[in-house]
Amino acid sequence: MDIGARPHPPFLGGARRGTARTVATAVLVALTCGASTLAAPSPAAHAAPPPGAATNMAANAAAPGAWGAAAAGAHGAEASGAPGVAASGAHGAATSGAPGVVAMAAPGDRTEARPRPRVDCRHVKCVALTFDDGPGPYTDTLLAYLAAYHARATFFVVGGNVVTYPRVLRRTVAAGHEIGNHTWSHPDLTRLSPARVRSQLGRTDQAIRAVTGVVPRLVRPPYGAFNATVRRQTGRPLVLWSVDTLDWRYRSSATVARRALRAVRPGSVILFHDIHPTTVRAIPRVLRKLAGRGYRFVTVSELFGGHPPRLVFNAAPPELH
């Protein structure tokens, strides 16, 4: 169902509309030189979608300047060295959380995920934690929290931030998490021409692949906004959510955790944003409480046995109800 969208702030750090050559050059420099820092793209103004834009029922509203607040103090540099996130000097490839996808790891960025048995979410309590708008300066800390609970999550990343934080994204993939496409600059896709929708997704795919070797199998449209045109241009499952923590509005870790824990059900897809430090600080409590209730933390693809439907809100196994 498509209804009016509410506004949402622009993504962390902004992104200029440079050519694909600019993106490829920046990524090549990072991979070749092993640089831990890339200059952040110049901030760009991103107008909030008007009230008439099409979206799903769970579309989230915006707080002006939310991304800018998350970016404060980052200076466009990558965050690294979070506790519990190890990096080795080994070369080679690491297997991502998506079935059959191999991620390329650069020197010093490889963090191997522990193999784990296949999770059958038809018979056990599963929940999919999803994180939008990164990678960012707090993502490494989040990875450490997830690793402590052997939790897998799905990260819907913005292309401009992929270029700014390539090593963080490589560590995310190498840790076994799933990567989804969240467009290049976080526009309302329902307001774009088919060609521009394809460009937003295509540029992001190219940046992710250049950094990790992964091509995302999932898309989350910004604001949850989609229509028939967006679905035709996407060609992949559109992933929405069933639990909205409203973490962009409530900059309180206790409130974010409480909203997630109160609404979760087996098969839930929970929406977070890892660009907010208050959100990241809420995750240990969410993990601890849900693990105590017997939940398994899986990627969106794992939630559906590797085959998510074309439109995802949640998965509710009949055996658990």
Residues belonging to the active site: 132, 273
28 phi and psi, to 5 degrees? -60, -40
Tell me the C-alpha distance between 300 and 315, whole Å. Answer: 9
- C-alpha triplet 93, 95, 99: angle, nearest 5°: 140
End-to-end CA distance of the chain: 25
Give residues with Cβ within 8 angstroms of 244, minimum separation 6: 58, 60, 259, 271
Tell me the C-alpha distance between 129 and 11, whole Å. Answer: 20
**For helices 20-33 and 194-212, what crossing angle results, to 10°?**
10
Give residues with Cβ within 8 angstroms of 233, minimum separation 6: 194, 197, 198, 201
Tell me the C-alpha distance between 44 and 16, whole Å. Answer: 6
Bridge partners of 105?
92
Cα distances (angstroms) measured from residue 189 to each of 4, 83, 186, 231: 13, 37, 8, 10
